[in-house]
Amino acid sequence: MPIVTRTVLAACLPALLACGHARAEDWTEFITDSHLQLLFNNQFFQRDYRDGPNNAGRNRFKPKTERNGYRQEWGQALQLHYQSGFTPGTLGLGVDAFAMQAFKLDSGGGRTGTGTLAIDGQGHPRDRHGKAGGSLKLRAANTRLRYGDFSTRAPVLAADNSRILPGVAHGLQFTAQWSALDLEAAHLTALSGPTESKRRGRISTVYAKPHRHGIDIGSASYLGFDTRTDMPWNLSYYLGRLEDAWTQHYLRLGHELELGPGRALGNEFSLYLTRDTGAARLGPLDNRIWSHALSYRHGVHRLTLAFQRSHADTPFDYIGFGDGQTGQSIFLANAAAYSDFNGPHERSWQLRYDQKLAWLGLPELNASIRHQRGWGVDGSRAPTDGLYHGLYGRDGRHHEWDLDLRYTLPAGPLKNLQLRATQIWHRGNRAQADGSIDQVRLRLIYPLDIL
């Protein structure tokens, strides 16, 4: 039995013994604090490659000259999530569980590869895929200990929720809450991606993709804290470790200054520092990337201006779940809907405008338009003994336009139904890694609370 499992069982044993002597009326909190939700997630995803082929699905079995440049998938997912309360006593015991299934509505071997549907060994999208799991949790005062399968939103290890099934982490997690501080730590031994049916997939990275080079990462850990959002300045710090690969520091400092009724000035600075560690299996790393965003809010309008810069010979990389195609561990201002603008030595700026379209009689309708432009990408000095060598050229340039519409039904039998439409245009030269694409995503999400 692994040492982590033995430790968790030992910690939970007093609670289990206490449960055996508890009266039925003492279980009120365990039952009344339980929550059961059924989530419907429907997504249409279309991506048109303007300067290269689609290398996924059946295309990868064809000569490059015969591959198309188009991906399109449409899927429907059902996610059932259960969260219990805690048993009585100083040490409270509880359980969380989930079961989820995704179904193909439309796609084909030549059009698959958006990360929405699972793909079989012949390059065809599967008709369905899913997973089930859960975790055991222990409460003592304001602290929680969890072991099993769960989601995480830490800036150095965040699950991807942008597809119809989410990413899932497996391991041990500790959280604590005080009046002005949230503390979190975790040790993870497996990550499952959105298209995987197994709960214990690989720990990978989005850019290096070590599994393609026969490299298995054994674990990932992090420790960090967030100050409460009702403080004048909000501070976050996280330290992450990818076994025999890197240590990563994250720092965020944010502030919103009220200027008067309906007016405010926002100020946010974010920084990542990544250094190789242990066997340095991804190669030498000495990466620094930061962003600074200023925003002005006036009533239903918000205008944002941001600048981001990378100081490194390698791109800023982050943890990927399972197959390494998806991850969200990049909390920077210019990490856009498609490109992260995180190339080696890259500089980028962003101009964004958001508006709540209440004047249309739909106060829950939000629109945003964003333009970003990056330049100075230079990967020619990436270490030759690392996995990032050859990913970027010299003098890379690109830009992206994002148009996003979001609406949430405020009342009625379909209250909280979320509708979202996103159009992306990205163009760049050959020296940057993201290519040129047109992308459309249509999403419908409906959370139905059962308990």
pLDDT of amino acid 76: 98
Rounded CA separation 99/366 (Å): 31
Q: Which residues contact 320 (CB under 8 A, 6 or more apart)?
A: 191, 193, 204, 205, 206, 209, 326, 327
What is the pLDDT averaged over residues 336-349? Answer: 97
pLDDT of amino acid 299: 92
- Could you tell me the fold of the domain covering 3-449? Porin (2.40.160)
Confidence of residue 160 (pLDDT cuts 50, 70, 90): confident
Which residue, among 150, 56, 138, has the nearest Cα to 98 in the 3D structure? 150
Give tens-digit pLDDT for 68-113. 999 999 999 999 999 999 998 889 999 999 999 999 999 999 999 9
Token pair for 34: 């339980």
Residue, of 23 and 426, whose pLDDT is higher: 426
Q: Out of 48, 187, 197, 219, pick the active-site residue.
A: 187
Q: Out of 244, 368, 371, 438, pick the active-site residue.
A: 244
329 a catalytic residue: yes
Rounded CA separation 314/287 (Å): 7
pLDDT reading at 4 higher than 60: no
pLDDT of amino acid 8: 46
244 a catalytic residue: yes
- Of all residues in the chain, the percent with pLDDT exceeding 70 is 93
Which residue, among 353, 337, 348, has the nearest Cα to 315 in the 3D structure? 348
pLDDT of amino acid 33: 85
Report in angstroms the alpha-carbon separations of 89 from 22, 178, 292: 9, 20, 47
pLDDT reading at 9 higher than 60: no
pTM of the model: 0.92
Rounded CA separation 103/375 (Å): 40
Give tens-digit pLDDT for 33-77. 899 999 999 999 999 999 889 999 999 999 988 899 999 999 999
pLDDT of amino acid 25: 56
Q: Out of 84, 221, 329, 339, pick the active-site residue.
A: 329
Report in angstroms the alpha-carbon separations of 28 from 14, 23, 24, 34, 170: 19, 10, 8, 10, 29
Contact call for residues 318 and 246 (beta carbons, < 8 A): no
